């Protein structure tokens, strides 16, 4: 497997486009993007678990019930959630996309991100979608158009091999832009030319999402609009994957690489973030326990504030583990901080170690830092991603220990 | 019942004192306080639910096993949690207090707040506790000494009547100083001259804490050192309360008034807070559902950011309700914002209303604002308290809607 360029256009037969149609008040920012496959794809998606679901989520679920899709139409600037005429406008958006791209309305995935509770100005989409220029190798403009408070475009693609056939898989996404992903909308669109059944896409997606997007800080706290879709058009020419065989595993792994990369990018681009924080818990009695602990650490405002201050305040790590609800032996906890500058143990057997504060500071002053916790209760292991907590709020908390 | 002055010295027979003994590096801030009753009290306490518990918590539990106590010794500057020689030093702290005050060591409550993981410099306490001047009507210095990042002293007292006998109950506390109370330590010390059995104190304390301190933003996320204690010395002279009779109810209500006032003060003094946010959910199918919903709203960073920006962004309220895990009909939600400037409905039946944005802004620009949610599913009702989210972090989020 190797990393390549191209995002959602890296796989054969996928075009993308973007434009400003007038949903946003800004006169420059693009607010509408579309992705199109040359042929109908097998497809699957995962959605927000929020009880309040945006209309495009409900419509997309309907359209994907048959496991088929050919295009995506996505707008920024308005979430079409809790909004007047929500379903009606989501349908009009799908119809506008279908008409512009010449595909069946039922094969259009609709997604939205932006303000909640205001009527989607769907007329702007209807008026201008037909003008959008769809091109191969045009992923970047689409990636830009779905950004809201994101500061960086988030894109990745990989090339991998299935039984001698070269396949591609690529994706674009937008992050919450917030410290916790509960606060904004996570949208992710993935395309592949690998031939794979809807059912096996779904299986791989569910397996991977638990280990990638759902491990970016606190899971469960999801917006009304979160969505991650996969479109597979089969144009690579491999024999269609329909069972959990080695080919499936190769596909799933490639998909996981794409999803994990995008998840890390979302964490690193949390609003105001100055560094990516990777928390790994190992030696837990099972993976679930490790995940609960790692998420609690990654989601702790005080730990995040300490990371901003490059302060090796491991007490906050233990505190976050303690209130996580997970069972563990508090007297058998090893905490280490690491980065490209090295690694340092700061707490062993649940008690503070004498450690080199200058080295710890140097380690934690990097763009990417790790908090590694080792228990002695089993082989459960999980990694979660988060970012530091910056700004004036942190001026108060970042240096509380000294 | 009426509000009076005096804090923990409002009740008969209680003295307080405070001093700087040298735990904190600051040369001016007091870091040790004591409270003393003229006679042994019936007593009870509630503690953090964090799996990692500070040594003073464990020791105090031991000392209160018989439902008796006579004094409190509390330090700031060091939490004595995950610290070397934790239990040994907590015991030495209790002994130092007992010796200084001439009471039995087993009747001393020990509490600590400050940095985690460092050895408590107990020698400083042992060297100086005996010099502390204990005085009636001296609650304020003790309230000041337990502050960490608090900006305001938190104190309250009330006078109430039991069968013709005037009783008093008062308390002091320190807040988390953080946006979420999980992040710092909540300590609260309450004294009363009402005669009441340890068992009935415990009953009233458990009933009230669920409705007061545990409703300040997100419960369950508690520090390693949280503690709320009640000492009752019986000096008011009423017949001892030993059952759930009208006298008990009068005591419990007075205690709730004290605890609720202090809980509100903790919320209002969250770090960087510019306003107190009170969230009430009513019409839920039961109280538990109402509580889960109200807590989720009060704990939502985006809702808090909107309150800072005085932005009537009710979509964030619905979003927080949606991810709370509680069941409710999303199509039957009424959301109103209120303050001393009036009240305005912004969402009805789960959909946005056309409302006067200027009036909404005026209402939300006050020091104390309310978010009131009404469902149509029953008579469950709960109020939670929080604060807004301020600073640069909010400059990004506070005005996202416009």
Give me the tens of pLDDT residue by residue for chain A, a chain 402 residues long.
Answer: 999 999 999 999 999 999 999 998 777 889 999 999 999 999 999 887 777 888 999 999 999 999 999 999 999 989 898 888 999 999 999 999 999 999 999 999 999 988 788 899 999 999 999 999 999 999 999 999 998 878 889 999 999 999 999 999 999 998 765 433 333 468 899 999 999 999 999 999 999 988 888 888 733 345 677 889 999 999 999 999 999 999 999 999 999 999 999 988 988 887 677 889 999 999 999 999 999 999 889 887 778 878 888 888 888 899 889 888 899 998 899 999 999 999 999 999 988 888 999 999 999 999 999 999 999 999 999 999 988 876 533 333 333 333
- How confident is the model at residue B398, as a pLDDT? 34
- Residue B331 is given by DSSP the state G
Strand locations in B131-286 (E) = 135-136, 154-162, 165-174, 187-192, 227-232, 276-284
Looking at domain A276-397, its CATH class is alpha beta
Q: How many angstroms separate the first and last alpha carbons of chain B?
A: 47
- How confident is the model at residue A271, as a pLDDT? 67
Q: Residues 313..342 of B with a Cβ closer than 8 Å to A: which?
A: 313-316, 318-319, 321-325, 327-328, 330
- How confident is the model at residue B27, as a pLDDT? 74
- Please tell me the distance from the alpha carbon of residue B386 to that of residue A118, in angstroms, as a whole number: 27
Helices (H) and strands (E) in chain A, counts: 11, 16
Burial of A32 (C-beta count, 10 Å sphere; 0-12/13-18/19+): buried
At A276 the three-state DSSP class reads strand
Contacts A319 to B, Cβ<8 Å: 50, 52, 81, 116, 223-224
Q: Residues 30..59 of B with a Cβ closer than 8 Å to A: which?
A: 49-53
- Please tell me the distance from the alpha carbon of residue B137 to that of residue B147, in angstroms, as a whole number: 19
At A239 the three-state DSSP class reads coil
pLDDT digits (tens, 9 = 90+) for B307-317: 888 888 888 89
Q: Give yes or no for residue B402 having a pLDDT over 50.
A: no
Angle CA A339–A358–B117, to nearest 5: 90
Do A2-268 and A276-397 show the same overall fold?
no
Closest by Cβ to B319, choosing from A224, A313, A325: A224
- How confident is the model at residue B135, as a pLDDT? 97
Residue with the two structure tokens 């099972």: A286
- How confident is the model at residue B392, as a pLDDT? 38
- How confident is the model at residue B324, as a pLDDT? 85
Number of C-beta neighbours around residue B330 at 10 A: 18
Q: Residues 144..163 of A with a Cβ closer than 8 Å to B: which?
A: 149
Contact at CB, A81 and B325, closer than 8 angstroms: no
User: Which residues of B define the annotated binding site?
Assistant: 148, 174, 185, 271, 397, 402
The CATH number of domain A2-268, selected from 3.60.70.12, 3.40.50.300, 2.60.120.10, 3.40.50.920: 3.60.70.12
- How confident is the model at residue A396, as a pLDDT? 36
Q: Does B401 touch chain A (CB under 8 A)?
A: yes
* φ and ψ at residue B74, rounded to 5 degrees: -135, 135
Contacts B224 to A, Cβ<8 Å: 318-319, 322
- Please tell me the distance from the alpha carbon of residue A115 to that of residue B314, in angstroms, as a whole number: 10
Contact at CB, B115 and A350, closer than 8 angstroms: no
**A261 Cβ contact list (under 8 Å, min separation 6):** A156
Of A80, A75, A77, A36, the C-alpha closest to A57 is A80
Sign of torsion, CA A241 A245 A249 A252? Answer: positive
Largest pairwise CA distance in chain B: 68
| Shortest alpha-carbon distance between residue A42 and chain B (Å) | 30
- Mutation pick from B214, B322, B357 vs chain A, by most beta carbons of A within 10 Å, is B322
Q: Give yes or no for residue B181 having a pLDDT over 70.
A: no
| Shortest alpha-carbon distance between residue B145 and chain A (Å) | 17
Domain boundaries, chain B: 2-268, 276-397
Spot the catalytic one: A185, A192, A217, A383.
A185
Q: Does A246 touch chain B (CB under 8 A)?
A: no
- How confident is the model at residue B222, as a pLDDT? 55
At A137 the three-state DSSP class reads coil
Q: Does A123 touch chain B (CB under 8 A)?
A: no
Of A236, A241, A167, A166, the C-alpha closest to A198 is A241
Q: Give yes or no for residue B141 having a pLDDT over 90.
A: yes
**B311 Cβ contact list (under 8 Å, min separation 6):** B361, B364, B398, B399, B401, B402
Contacts B115 to A, Cβ<8 Å: 315, 400-401
* φ and ψ at residue B237, rounded to 5 degrees: 95, 5
- How confident is the model at residue B271, as a pLDDT? 67
Q: Residues 89..118 of A with a Cβ closer than 8 Å to B: which?
A: 115-118
* φ and ψ at residue A77, rounded to 5 degrees: 100, -20
- Mutation pick from B50, B52, B175, B311 vs chain A, by most beta carbons of A within 10 Å, is B52
Please check whether residue B182 is in contact with residue B221, taking contact to mean a CB–CB distance below 8 angstroms.
Answer: yes
Contacts B182 to A, Cβ<8 Å: 300, 323
Number of C-beta neighbours around residue A102 at 10 A: 9
- Please tell me the distance from the alpha carbon of residue A277 to that of residue A387, in angstroms, as a whole number: 5
Closest by Cβ to B319, choosing from A50, A220, A392: A50
Contact at CB, B400 and A115, closer than 8 angstroms: yes
| A-B C-beta contacts closer than 8 Å | 164
User: Which residues of B define the annotated binding site for substrate?
Assistant: 148, 174, 185, 271, 397, 402
Sign of torsion, CA B28 B29 B31 B37? Answer: positive
**Could you give the residue numbers annotated as active site of B?**
185
pLDDT digits (tens, 9 = 90+) for B323-369: 888 999 988 999 999 999 999 999 999 888 889 999 999 999 999 99
Q: Give yes or no for residue B120 having a pLDDT over 80.
A: yes
Closest by Cβ to B82, choosing from A83, A84, A315: A315
Token pair, residue B356, equals 């006067």
Q: Residues 247..286 of B with a Cβ closer than 8 Å to A: which?
A: 271-272
**A234 Cβ contact list (under 8 Å, min separation 6):** A39, A41, A42, A193, A194, A195, A196, A240
Please check whether residue A173 is in contact with residue A188, taking contact to mean a CB–CB distance below 8 angstroms.
Answer: yes
């Amino acid at each position: 497997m190797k990393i390549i360029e191209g995002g959602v256009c890296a796989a054969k037969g996928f075009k993308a486009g973007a434009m400003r149609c007038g949903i946003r008040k800004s006169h420059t920012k693009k607010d509408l993007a579309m992705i199109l496959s040359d042929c109908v794809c097998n497809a699957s998606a995962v959605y927000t678990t929020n009880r309040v679901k945006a209309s495009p989520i409900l419509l997309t679920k309907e359209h994907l019930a048959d496991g088929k899709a050919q295009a995506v139409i996505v707008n920024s600037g308005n979430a079409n959630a809790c909004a007047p005429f929500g379903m009606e406008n989501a349908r009009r958006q799908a119809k506008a996309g279908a008409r512009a791209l010449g595909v069946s309305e039922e094969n259009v995935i609709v997604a939205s991100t932006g303000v909640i509770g205001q009527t989607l100005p769907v007329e702007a989409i209807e008026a201008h979608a037909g003008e959008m220029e769809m091109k191969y190798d045009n992923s970047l403009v689409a990636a830009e158009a779905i950004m809201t408070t994101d500061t960086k475009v988030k894109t990745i693609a990989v090339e991998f091999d299935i039984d001698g056939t070269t396949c591609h898989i690529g994706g674009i996404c937008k992050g919450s832009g917030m410290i916790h992903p509960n606060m904004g909308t996570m949208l992710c669109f993935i395309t592949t030319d690998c031939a794979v059944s809807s059912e096996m896409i779904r299986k791989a997606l569910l397996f991977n999402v638990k280990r990638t997007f759902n491990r970016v800080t606190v899971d469960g706290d999801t917006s009304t609009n979160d969505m991650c879709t996969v479109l597979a058009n089969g144009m690579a020419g491999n024999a269609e994957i329909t069972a959990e065989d080695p080919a499936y595993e190769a596909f799933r792994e490639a998909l996981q690489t794409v999803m994990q990369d995008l998840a890390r990018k979302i964490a690193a681009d949390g609003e105001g973030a100055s560094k990516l924080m990777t928390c790994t818990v190992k030696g837990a009695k099972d993976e679930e326990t490790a995940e609960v602990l790692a998420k609690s650490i990654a989601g702790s405002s005080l730990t995040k504030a300490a990371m901003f201050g490059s302060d090796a305040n491991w007490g906050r790590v233990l505190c976050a583990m303690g209130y996580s609800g997970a069972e563990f032996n508090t007297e058998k906890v090893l905490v280490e901080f690491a980065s490209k500058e090295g690694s340092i143990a700061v707490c062993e057997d649940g008690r503070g170690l004498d450690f080199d504060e200058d080295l710890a500071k140097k380690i934690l002053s990097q763009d990417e830092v790790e908090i590694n916790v080792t228990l002695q209760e089993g082989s459960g292991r999980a990694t979660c991603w988060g970012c530091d907590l910056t700004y004036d709020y942190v001026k108060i908390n970042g240096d509380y220990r000294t």
